[in-house]
Amino acid sequence: MPTTQTIVAIGDHQPEMAEREAFPPQRFKVYTAKQLDKIPQLQRLCEEQRFEMKVVASVLPFRVNEHVIDELIDWDAVPDDPIFQLTFPQREMLAPEYFERVAQALRDELPREDFNAIVADIRAELNPHPAGQLEHNIPHVNGEPIDGLQHKYRETVLFFPSSGQVCHTYCTFCFRWAQFVGDKDLQIAAKESGQLQDYLREHREVTDVLVTGGDPMVMKTRNLRAYLEPLLGEEFDHIRTIRIGTKALTFWPQRFVSDADAQDLLDLFREIQAAGKHLALMAHYNHWRELEPAIAREAVRRIRDTGAQIRAQGPLLAHINDDPAVWARLWQTQVELGIVPYYMFVERDTGARRYFEVPLVRAWEIYREAMQQVSGIARTARGPSMSAHPGKVEIQGVTEVRGEKVLALRMIQGRDPNWVQRPFFARYDEEATWLNHLEPALGEEQFFFEARQAG
């Protein structure tokens, strides 16, 4: 197989042929919970470990493809390998009492209806839609909710196209896990794009549309084009930025390189730029290992060649990246490839969060120590940031005010635009892992945003 260097050497003569030889088309093959036993590499694990995976995968969604299995996981390091932890279920992702209920139901071979009832009860206890996603983020027109839209922050509307509500592989920590368990009552998905266009016509304050999911990159280019091309016309001149949230740069970089309609996709990116819109791919990365495969780097190069920008974000996760050196290497590698580090998030209070959550104080220490290891150009990542009900809350550090040890916090995005950039303080708490675990400092009875919500 020709190397990347070979492509450069013969690129002036036969670039398309050289690229096809270097990155030949690959078949997309995926495994779900029903095919766990079909994954050859899992035979390395003992029977009890495989049973534990089956238990957890009965509650939380599981899906993995061959690229992840063959190219990203170091099977000699399993189960501690970070990408294995990122994609394969682990026993501790469920509370012991939940795990035992499902495990016993599997052992007893309960009828499907009874088994599903147990699973549904447990899912309901896992806070399937945190931060007001269903109750407070979905816009209404004439008292009726608009399916497939979220409008939490004034300038930005989230759009969930129905054909993009799946991913090439599922992350075990995903805060949108409820989208993928087959319960329509828990899904956010648009049946068609007309409602998005109608809503944007009425809301000229919106400047950014974020196409999300799932992963919009699972769609064929013709489908994505049908959603985005209408936004390029003059009537939507207030839409300045189109963002696409995706994990495909990790889980299926072939989407931008060797898939049958990869070139059409890149052409669409160019068309968006040519229409005067800024196109940003909001790429989800959790570990520097994801940027190692040659095809992943080629995907980054091709996207950047269209003029689109790639911004990288991801949560801080126990068992995967709770190490300053991992984040420093991730950010530095991203900068070298032309990717902009954007956010370090705090793991949300949903799904398997008990397995992944890191105390807020420790999260800030990891962020600070990682920042100390990179140059200024790699210090663009904001965080650690909690995407909580009132907005995005950044942990800025530990300090002392009027003799009291406190956590310094800042609202970097808010339901109320007047909250943006407002600093506030919480009592120092080494155990807290989320905003609702914190208490106001300095004698205050409540945080400023709680007073507003109460009023």
Residue 414 near residue 391 (C-beta atoms within 8 A) = yes
Rounded CA separation 386/433 (Å): 10
428 located within any domain: no
Q: Are residues 245 and 110 in the same domain?
A: no
CATH code for the domain of 151: 3.20.20.70
User: Exposed e or buried b for every residue in 157-167, given b needs 16+ CB within 10 A?
Assistant: bbbbbbbbbbb
Listed range (80-94, 167-181, 337-351) with the worst mean pLDDT: 167-181
At 278, the pLDDT band (50, 70, 90 cuts) reads: very high
Residue type, 426: A
Of 285, 316, 347, which residue is a domain's last?
316
Q: Are residues 187 and 241 in the same domain?
A: yes
244 located within any domain: yes
Q: Are residues 70 and 179 in the same domain?
A: no
pLDDT > 70? residue 12:
no
User: CA angle, corner 253, sides to 247 and 259, nearest 5?
Assistant: 125
pLDDT at 18: 59
pLDDT > 50? residue 3:
no
329 located within any domain: no
Tokens of 267: 């052409």
pLDDT > 50? residue 224:
yes
Q: Are residues 35 and 181 in the same domain?
A: no
pLDDT at 2: 36
Count of C-beta atoms within a 10 Å radius of residue 54: 18
250 located within any domain: yes
Number of domains in the chain: 2
Share above pLDDT 90 across residues of the chain, in percent, rounded to a whole number: 83
Share above pLDDT 70 across residues of the chain, in percent, rounded to a whole number: 91
Q: Are residues 302 and 162 in the same domain?
A: yes
pLDDT at 210: 97
pLDDT > 70? residue 43:
yes
pLDDT > 70? residue 6:
no
206 located within any domain: yes
Q: Are residues 196 and 260 in the same domain?
A: yes
pLDDT at 180: 84
Over the stretch 377-410, which tens digit does the pLDDT of each residue have?
Answer: 999 999 999 999 999 999 999 999 999 999 999 9
pLDDT at 135: 61
Tokens of 332: 């530095």
pLDDT at 131: 54
340 located within any domain: no
Q: Are residues 162 and 311 in the same domain?
A: yes
73 located within any domain: yes
Averaged pLDDT, 336-350: 96
Q: Are residues 41 and 166 in the same domain?
A: no
pLDDT at 193: 72
Q: Are residues 172 and 225 in the same domain?
A: yes
67 located within any domain: yes
Of 124, 155, 184, which residue is a domain's last?
124
pLDDT at 187: 66
Of 124, 154, 181, which residue is a domain's last?
124
At 105, the pLDDT band (50, 70, 90 cuts) reads: very high
Averaged pLDDT, 423-427: 98
pLDDT > 50? residue 1:
no
Per-chain mean pLDDT for the chain: 91
At 59, the pLDDT band (50, 70, 90 cuts) reads: very high
Q: Are residues 166 and 308 in the same domain?
A: yes
pLDDT at 133: 60
Structural domain span for residue 48: 28-124
Q: Are residues 275 and 162 in the same domain?
A: yes
Q: Are residues 155 and 256 in the same domain?
A: yes
pLDDT at 140: 79
